[in-house]
Amino acid sequence: MKIAVLDDYHDTVRTLAAFRKLAAHDVKVWNDHLQDTDALAARLKDVEALVLIRERTKIRAPLLERLPKLRLISQRSVYPHIDIDACTRLGVTVCSNMHTGTPSYATSEMTWALILAAAREIPQNVAALKAGKWQVGVGSTLRGKHLGIFGYGRIAGEVAKIGAAMGMRILVWAREASRQKAQADGYS
């Protein structure tokens, strides 16, 4: 089977134990990103299976219609970038390991990494250390501060839980149904 792995810009797929299971197949891992339909169609013209580990490349009808050998798309998680109706019409199976109601923990963790880096002035202190200086500040604590969250979906709910665990007051601005869910979870 001819398989293409798209958008593996950190070149990590080859290091996974599961990748060895594809040894009997013709696998091409692409580390760059293409979005141009003509360029993608040329790159993927003989591919029977696509492995998508990011939500970066849009897989829409104009591309799918030019990939007559494609039979399978494997997506790591959510798939808003894949035209499911076109896949169904063209006989392309889409599989994902996304579980209903499961948030992206990685996204909420990265959100908190950025919040903590900003609050504690980590980039500034790293730059100072690299310049041979000692810390330039300690930043500020988050306990007792307000955390504003725009929208209240699965990821925002995880971000709110972590903020609450740190002693922050959570303020949610969202549609009525989402605000009601946030209030039921104990947030303003």
Please tell me whether the overall predicted TM-score, pTM, comes out greater than 0.95 for this model: no
Domain that holds residue 121: 105-184
Number of structural domains the chain divides into: 2
Cα distance between residue 1 and residue 28, in whole Å: 11
Q: Are residues 122 and 179 in the same domain?
A: yes
Given a cut of 80, is residue 111 above it in pLDDT? yes
Q: Are residues 86 and 114 in the same domain?
A: no
Q: What is the pLDDT of residues 33-70, one digit of tens each?
A: 999 999 999 999 999 999 998 788 999 999 999 999 99
The token pair that represents 45 in the structure block: 């013209």
CATH number, position 41: 3.40.50.720
CA contacts within 13 A on the Cβ side of 38: 0
Q: Are residues 126 and 143 in the same domain?
A: yes
Q: Are residues 6 and 91 in the same domain?
A: yes
Cα distance between residue 125 and residue 113, in whole Å: 15
